[in-house]
Amino acid sequence: MSSLEVVGLSKRFGVRTAVDELTFTAHQGDIIGLLGPNGGGKTTTIRLLTTILRPSAGAFSVTGIPGDQHSAIRQRIGVLPESAGYPVRQTGREYLRYSARLFGLSRAEATRVTDRLLADVGLSDRAGARISTYSRGMRQRLGIARALVNDPAVVFLDEPTLGLDPAGQREVLVTVRDIAQRRGATVVLSTHTLTEVEQVCTSLLILRRGKLLAAGTVSDVIATVGAQRSGRLRVAPGLIPRAQAALARVSGLEFTGDTDHPGELKLDATSSAQEPWDNALRALLDARIAVLAFDTDATRLSDAFLSLTEEDQP
């Protein structure tokens, strides 16, 4: 059974349609990236799915529970809102224990769950300190722990890495991956950071003015725009002639020349298909050429995103 089923979900504020007939399905362990330009409808989508807002049309269910059963839904979900506030005089441990008690856990259970979550998000050693002394990254991780106290099936994280330094971002992303892989929860993650999506999301939804423009894996979305994919290959500089010879036999790929870096080759695909790239790697491995780097999508998701979300699109 799917953990999250969304069908034709819409939200209008007066004449403005913030979410327009959104339909998608998510399963256990999925990390869904919700992407889109400012005002695209990401936060409104999360507010609808967390029962903060009522839909104007459409429906959704969480583990089969219909979205209009608010209290039952809230038992099955966890949320890190866009700008979460914290009782800064409390310690991290007090805050989590209190939150767990609100979900009806006994004192002993609340303590057990709190200690485990503090360890999971890497806050055990600061658990007894007041939240006012926490960095932004620590607060975000505490907020994620708070979203997990009821062992939810679906966790919604609204821009969880916003304003964090690279180390803080990485810690949050590791936590997100853990939630999906170890707990088997579904994560819906709203973000503006495309590299983040490439690193952790199993699929993505791109929203513009409330409409779903593209959905699927990173490769699916790139294929949606029919982008001719390009890539870069790096090998030891002395191996370039052999690499070129091996790749010359792969159909569907063209060399577009050297780059500024010795040992790097630029390649273009003549279609959006994945096969030429797979064949290229196979050809290099068969020729026993050590591949130092092989990068196809990284620079292309941003191209696909921009092409999909440009304002002159219909």
Ligand X SMILES: Nc1ncnc2c1ncn2[C@@H]1O[C@H](COP(=O)(O)OP(=O)(O)OP(=O)(O)O)[C@@H](O)[C@H]1O
136 binding ligand X? (CB under 6 A):
no
203 binding ligand X? (CB under 6 A):
no
191 binding ligand X? (CB under 6 A):
no
**Residue of 5, 30, 40, 100 interacting with ligand X (CB under 6 A):** 40
**What DSSP character marks residue 10?**
E
160 binding ligand X? (CB under 6 A):
no
Query: Is 211 or 242 the residue whose CB approaches ligand X more closely?
Result: 211
**Residue of 8, 13, 135, 217 interacting with ligand X (CB under 6 A):** 13
**Residue of 16, 89, 112, 136 interacting with ligand X (CB under 6 A):** 16
- Which span (32-40, 173-181, 273-281, 294-302) binds ligand X, by CB under 6 A? 32-40
Whether 153 and 186 have beta carbons less than 8 Å apart is answered as: yes
Whether 258 and 232 have beta carbons less than 8 Å apart is answered as: no
33 binding ligand X? (CB under 6 A):
no
Query: Is 81 or 122 the residue whose CB approaches ligand X more closely?
Result: 81
Q: Where are the beta strands (DSSP E) in the chain?
A: 4-13, 16-26, 31-35, 57-62, 65-66, 77-80, 154-158, 186-190, 203-208, 211-216, 230-234, 253-258, 264-269, 293-295
**Residue of 23, 27, 28, 39 interacting with ligand X (CB under 6 A):** 39
Shortest spacing between CB 64 and ligand X, in angstroms: 26
Q: What burial class does residue 260 get, using C-beta atoms within 10 Å of its C-beta: 0-12 exposed, 13-18 middle, 19+ buried? A: exposed
Query: Is 38 or 71 the residue whose CB approaches ligand X more closely?
Result: 38
**Residue of 41, 137, 160, 276 interacting with ligand X (CB under 6 A):** 41
**Residue of 22, 26, 33, 43 interacting with ligand X (CB under 6 A):** 43
Torsion of CA 136, 140, 146, 150, to 10 degrees: -170
DSSP 3-state assignment of 274? coil
- Which span (34-42, 162-170, 265-273, 287-295) binds ligand X, by CB under 6 A? 34-42
Shortest spacing between CB 96 and ligand X, in angstroms: 27
36 binding ligand X? (CB under 6 A):
yes
Q: How far apart are CA 275 and CA 288, in angstroms?
A: 20
Please choose, from the candidates 241, 246, 233, 231, the residue with its C-alpha nearest in 3D space to the C-alpha of residue 286.
Answer: 246
Measure the CA angle with vertex 96, ends 95 and 101; round to 5°.
100
Binding site for ligand X (CB under 6 A): 13, 16, 18, 36, 38-44
